[in-house]
Amino acid sequence: MHRRIRANIDYFFLDDGILYFQPRRDSPRRICVPDDRDLKDIILYEHHNVASSGHPGCLKTLLALQENTGMSPFVADHGYNPRSVGALVLPTQRGHSQSSLRFLDKQQVILHQCQDELEMAQATMKYFHDRNRPTYRFEPGDQVLLDTRNLDLPHIGVLGRRKLAPRFIGPYPIIRATTPDTYQIGLPPEVKLHNKFLISYLRPYQLDTNSKRLNDVPRLITRDGLNGLQVQVIINKRLRQNTLYYKVRWYGRDVADSWEPANVLIVDMSAPFGWTSCPAYYGAVGGAISC
């Protein structure tokens, strides 16, 4: 026997085969439970979770009453269930009690007013929820811009503070719609991001077709590894000393129009001008145009 129990042996006594512990004469008796986990779990369950438990509490008592008798607490106490306001309907044949009819008319007006207020509140919530929600849809091949608000800047190749970072990056093509509000886009290898985004992070890309405002284009690397420029449009042509020259307008704000020999352009430009005896052209300055 434990030393503390041996010192308090006078506080233990048997009553009807049950071992009790009572430290003082005026204190309540406590049942001593053997050190058996399964037995303790059974006793705790019987004492707390059954209808006849020692102290189930008000809620458990009401639930136990309804579970065992099938009656609600109101029925058990008063003998009937109260009617809700929604169940009150004006009778087709009115009686002689004018006060009850006035009460029913008033309740019907209040119900309709509450329904109107609820519908107005729902419409207001829907308006504020959908106010900034995009309504457009994309198809595979569409060009979109990616919002950088919640993106990790080093993963998109931007260093420094966020306020100096671009608001949108792209454009990138739409590959497919994975869900009604999620799209998979084609990202370049240097952008280390997951390629599926919600539609709220995408904006349709609008190409600026004004020739006076040249769009900035990314740097072009030719097949031989040299830097090149992209051709925006061929303005004119001429033949000097058996050499064909094209007047080229390049993409870029600081690049002026220039006459270039045909052998430095990657794409053969002879077809739009009716020249049939030109060779294929490859060179250090890259050009690309759909003719």
pLDDT digits (tens, 9 = 90+) for 122-175: 898 888 877 777 677 899 989 999 999 888 888 877 777 888 888 898 888 999
pLDDT band at 95 (very low <50, low <70, confident <90, very high): low
Segments making up each domain of the chain, as ranges:
3-74, 143-204, 209-291
Q: What is the mean pLDDT of residues 114-121?
A: 89
pLDDT of the residue at 252:
65
CA distance 244 to 259: 10
pLDDT digits (tens, 9 = 90+) for 196-226: 999 889 999 987 777 666 556 666 666 676 7
E-strand ranges in the chain read: 12-15, 18-21, 30-31, 143-147, 168-179, 182-185, 196-198, 202-204, 220-221, 227-228, 231-240, 243-250, 258-261
pLDDT band at 280 (very low <50, low <70, confident <90, very high): very low
Q: If you ran DSSP here, which 8-state letter would residue 98 be given?
A: H
Q: Given this structure, which CATH class describes domain 209-291?
A: mainly beta
pLDDT of the residue at 217:
63
Neighbours of 257 (CB within 10 A): 13
CA distance 291 to 244: 18
pLDDT of the residue at 102:
86
CA distance 202 to 138: 10
Which of 241, 240, 134, 141 has its CA nearest to residue 186?
141
pLDDT of the residue at 86:
67
pLDDT digits (tens, 9 = 90+) for 2-60: 555 555 667 777 777 777 888 777 788 787 777 778 877 777 777 666 655 655 556 66
